Structure 1
Amino acid sequence: MSIRFYLWKKFYQLLFTIILIGIIVAFSTSLHTSKHELFHSVLEQLKMFGHNFLHLNKMTIQVGIFSKQTPLWGYLKEPFVYSFIILSASFICTFTLGILCSYVTYLLSLKMQKIVKECLFLLQSIPDVMFIFAVQLFIIWLYKKTNILIVDPVAGMKKVYVLPIILVSILPGIMLFQMTFLAIEEERKKTYVEFAKSKGLSSGWILFKHILRNVVVTLFSHSHYLFWLLVSNLLVVEYLFNMHGFFHLLYTVIKTPDVFYICLVTLFLPFFLIEMIFNMVAIKLTGKEQSQ
């Protein structure tokens, strides 16, 4: 697949997704109307969404009942950057945790590998909300018992980074570890690994020099799943930690359809672009789109 063909394909996918998001939001906000007026209401909403999307610099939002209208992008920028920093750092931590744990586990004995996989499977089986809430309660309990506050478990008006990044990263990191280790086990059955072993190369060197390179390219195909898992975790973390991030903003503008639509598109675009870049790298290395 050529890069040019892939870019055109992703452009049409992007356009279709932006329109589909608009249709979903317009339809959900028009449900209160009668059946005869539903189509007209959805059409009017879509016209408004399209006009506002093309004139983002002129969009305004009222913050609070007695507040003046302020530019939307100026109000959107700070929470978006805050949440995006957490997501970006969480992705780096997730990727590092998954690859590093896979590398270390691969070098262990088969018995130890089984123990590690069972422990991580047990941890992953805990629901996201329960896991995040349990860690938050543990930090509060530890502070009450020892007067030692490891990290701030509640954000409020402050910006906290360390604990949210860790909590958003752990469960996706375990999922990435499982996918990576499964891909490593598939790779080590191939003939080039047996040939490398016959030349006297160590398992660690074969894994680092040959297997991981092929595995990382394969992992690009799962990047979109990983991103949306991180997003869902951040949504829970922002709510439980009372963080004034992007999802907190979504809660406040949910009754303003045009602003809510722009916020959803703004949330979608960075991850779409990142996935597109990953797939372009995979096409360059393998000659085909990894998500196919």
Structure 2
Amino acid sequence: MKLMIKFVFSVLGIVLVSGFPVLIGGLVAGELRLTEYIGALEAVLRGLWPLQEFTVLNMRTNREIPLFPTIGEYIIYSLELLFLAFAVAIFFAITFTVLTMLLKEKARQRIKMALYFLESLPDLLVIMLAQLAVIAIYLQTNVLISKIAVVQGDHIYWLPVLCLALLPMIQLYRLCMLTFRDEERKMYIELARSLGFSKVFVIWVHMFRNAIISVFFQSKKTIWFMLSNLFVLELMFNIPGIMLFMKDNISPEVFLVSIFSFFLPIFLLYSIGEWLVLRHLRGKEAI
């Protein structure tokens, strides 16, 4: 029931935001255009129905194009990059955290300082360095390990995914380290060590399953951070994704469909995850 209420209010919020240009234009002019705002919302919702017949003006070609199914290809490509990068960031963040937890305190501090320095790098610089590295390798070896831009409708994955995942991975690593360190100080960890369990066993079996729950819920900020970097990524790699589609076909209707296309899978991901976590915790209480 709570999830349904969250979903309804979230969808309502997205719809209300789609009409904000009218309100902002009124505020700039010193007016509160509520009537025009409500009219704009009605126009957006009516304009999208029926979906198959809705068209938008492409600013590059200055021609009308059908929104569906054209927008579907752009949405799918962007979601593929986003979730692949998110999975890569989580995997390496957890792996580095576990390896760091096996080290002594002095070594931990050195690793954390190095990764924190990388976190200060702008996403634009990361992308440019990755592209320059590919060019340098090609000039030295005559081997093209990855394309640095999409041309003629081709899709590239591993280099954009790596660039999109790097900074979120460091953020998640920092979050994982804080969570694992908190778990390390708890009494049940001391008890497990006193019983003779190895450090690796304690981290993987005892600390991991408790710490990962907290990391999962706090990772929502990370995936929204990745969304903010997605536009730069698509621009730098010339990726035919939804961000560039919105830039070339800007309208309240395109904005509404695009935002909802991102909101729905992310909402489902965290809703299912929350349900599984609560089910796990209730199972533990029953035991």
Report deviation, 1:62.
4.4
What are the equivalent positions in structure 2 for 1:40-189 lying under 5 Å apart?
40-53=35-48, 55-63=50-58, 65=61, 67=63, 69-70=65-66, 72-157=67-152, 158-189=154-185
Equivalent residues of 1:142, 1:148 under 8 A apart: yes
Q: Render the CA deviation track for 1:196-251: whole Å, top value 9, x for unaligned.
A: 01110011101111111011111122132121122122221111111111111011
Counterpart amino acid of residue 159 in structure 1: H
Counterpart amino acid of residue 50 in structure 1: L
**Do the aligned partners of residues 141 and 238 (structure 1) sit closer, same or farther apart at CA in structure 2, a change above 3 Å counting?**
same
Q: SS of the counterpart of 2:266?
A: helix
Structure 2 residue 254 is the aligned partner of structure 1 residue 251: no
Alignment partners' CA distance in 1, 2:108 and 2:57: 56
**Do the aligned partners of residues 69 and 32 (structure 1) sit closer, same or farther apart at CA in structure 2, a change above 3 Å counting?**
farther
Structure 2 residue 3 is the aligned partner of structure 1 residue 7: yes
Alignment partners' CA distance in 1, 2:178 and 2:103: 15
Task: Identify the residue that residue 217 of structure 2 maps to in structure 1.
Answer: 221
- What TM-score do the two structures reach when normalised by structure 2? 0.88
Q: SS of the counterpart of 2:109?
A: helix
**Do the aligned partners of residues 180 and 65 (structure 1) sit closer, same or farther apart at CA in structure 2, a change above 3 Å counting?**
closer
Alignment partners' CA distance in 1, 2:30 and 2:166: 47
Further displaced range: 34-43 or 94-103: 34-43
Report deviation, 1:84.
0.8
Alignment partners' CA distance in 1, 2:30 and 2:50: 31
Alignment partners' CA distance in 2, 1:180 and 1:33: 44
Equivalent residues of 2:75, 2:258 under 8 A apart: no
Q: Render the CA deviation track for 1:10-37: whole Å, top value 9, x for unaligned.
A: 1343233223322324434x45996669
Q: SS of the counterpart of 2:56?
A: strand
Q: SS of the counterpart of 2:18?
A: helix
**Do the aligned partners of residues 66 and 90 (structure 1) sit closer, same or farther apart at CA in structure 2, a change above 3 Å counting?**
closer
Alignment partners' CA distance in 1, 2:57 and 2:6: 35
Query: Which runs of 5 or more residues in structure 2 are unaligned?
Result: 283-287
1:39 to 25, 34, 40: 34
Report deviation, 1:129.
1.3
Task: Identify the residue that residue 238 of structure 2 maps to in structure 1.
Answer: 242
Q: Render the CA deviation track for 1:95-152: whole Å, top value 9, x for unaligned.
A: 1011111011111122211111010011111111112222212222332343222211
Equivalent residues of 1:53, 1:262 under 8 A apart: no
Query: Which runs of 5 or more residues in structure 1 are unaligned?
Result: 288-292
**Do the aligned partners of residues 129 and 20 (structure 1) sit closer, same or farther apart at CA in structure 2, a change above 3 Å counting?**
same
Aligned-residue CA RMSD (Å): 2.3
**Do the aligned partners of residues 15 and 261 (structure 1) sit closer, same or farther apart at CA in structure 2, a change above 3 Å counting?**
closer
Alignment partners' CA distance in 2, 1:110 and 1:69: 59
Further displaced range: 40-49 or 210-219: 40-49
Q: Render the CA deviation track for 1:53-100: whole Å, top value 9, x for unaligned.
A: 564344223456575542x12011111111111111111101101111
Equivalent residues of 1:220, 1:282 under 8 A apart: no
**Do the aligned partners of residues 215 and 52 (structure 1) sit closer, same or farther apart at CA in structure 2, a change above 3 Å counting?**
farther
Aligned residue pairs total 280
Equivalent residues of 2:92, 2:169 under 8 A apart: yes
Alignment partners' CA distance in 2, 1:127 and 1:66: 34
